[in-house]
Amino acid sequence: DAGVIQSPRHEVTEMGQEVTLRCKPISGHDYLFWYRQTMMRGLELLIYFNNNVPIDDSGMPEDRFSAKMPNASFSTLKIQPSEPRDSAVYFCASSMGQNHQPQHFGDGTRLSIL
């Protein structure tokens, strides 16, 4: 079975540019989560969706970050404009949502903002 698919795997761009990260959840999973991981702050939940609807975006650091889920098989996380402090590994995860179901992670996008 295909797992969570993220693209790109690596992204290097200059400060001020727009960055778009993409995620395809596991088919049949109705929850999708975006995380950011850094050495200093660990794994931080940014936003999560249920049935394509954003449920909690309290972890989104500021208005420069936005996320969408136009359908059950695709989500994007956008940063505009990007800043060096946004450099991190961004993970997407999905789950089936019933009680006791774990999250399954994609391979992540390693983002470097110069």
Partner 1 sequence: QKEVEQNSGPLSVPEGAIASLNCTYSDRGSQSFFWYRQYSGKSPELIMSIYSNGDKEDGRFTAQLNKASQYVSLLIRDSQPSDSATYLCAVNNFNKFYFGSGTKLNVKP
Q: What is the DSSP letter of 80?
A: S
What is the 8-class DSSP label of residue 83? -
Q: How near is the Cβ of 83 to partner 1 at its closest, in Å?
A: 23
Q: Are 78 and 67 contacting, i.e. CB atoms less than 8 angstroms apart?
A: yes
Among 11, 25, 33, 77, binds partner 1 (CB under 8 A): 33
Which span (21-29, 43-51, 61-69, 79-87) binds partner 1, by CB under 8 A? 43-51
Residue 95 in tokens:
């789950």
Q: Which stretch binds partner 1 (CB under 8 A): 12-20, 66-74, 77-85, 94-102?
A: 94-102
Stretch that binds partner 1, among 15-23, 39-47, 62-70, 80-88 (CB under 8 A): 39-47
User: What is the secondary structure of 37-74 as a DSSP string?
Assistant: EETTTEEEEEEEEETTEEEE-TT--STTEEEEEEETTE
CA-angle at 54, arms to 50 and 59, nearest 5°: 115
Nearer to partner 1, 31 or 65 (CB): 31
Binding site for partner 1 (CB under 8 A): 31, 33, 42-43, 45, 48, 50, 56, 91, 95, 97, 99-100, 102-108
